[in-house]
């Protein structure tokens, strides 16, 4: 399984997102290749389907199921995640767990 965490240089929460990814992987008992990628240009934002910093993909799919409907890729924005009626500046562990389980079941 591949997990990519995309972020900008100025993102203040990407390391928190990385910790959430690690905690979710441990809790799920899943081994994964985790990689962080700094997004520097608008072209890179479009290439990586970057909806703001931080963005997490599991096997190429955004951890936020709502992201499938979005196409406004932007280098200049922070990202807000909504999970169970609350907003987060990074994907919460439970959202990541849901994505991990969905991808492991898709195999």
Identify the pLDDT of residue 29: 96
In this prediction the pTM is: 0.91
Enclosing domain of residue 77: 2-105
Q: Is 83 left (phi over 0), alpha (psi -120 to 50) or beta?
A: beta
Identify the pLDDT of residue 43: 95
| pLDDT < 70 regions, the chain | 104-107
Identify the pLDDT of residue 77: 77
Identify the pLDDT of residue 107: 47
Identify the pLDDT of residue 68: 85
CATH of the domain at 60: 3.40.30.10
DSSP-assigned states of every residue in 19-53? HHHHHHHHHHT---EEEEEE--SHHHHHHTT--SB
State how many domains the chain has.
1
Measured in residues, the chain has a length of: 107
């Amino acid at each position: 399984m591949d997990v990519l965490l995309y972020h900008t240089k100025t993102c203040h929460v990407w390391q928190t997102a990385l910790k959430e990814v690690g905690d979710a992987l441990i809790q799920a008992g899943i081994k994964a290749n985790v990689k962080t990628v700094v997004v520097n240009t608008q072209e890179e934002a479009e290439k990586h389907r970057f909806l703001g910093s931080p963005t997490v993909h599991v096997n190429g799919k955004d951890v936020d199921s709502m992201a499938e409907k979005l196409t406004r890729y932007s280098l200049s924005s922070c990202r807000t995640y909504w999970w169970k009626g609350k907003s987060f500046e990074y994907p919460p562990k439970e959202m990541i767990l849901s994505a991990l389980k969905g991808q492991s079941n898709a195999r």
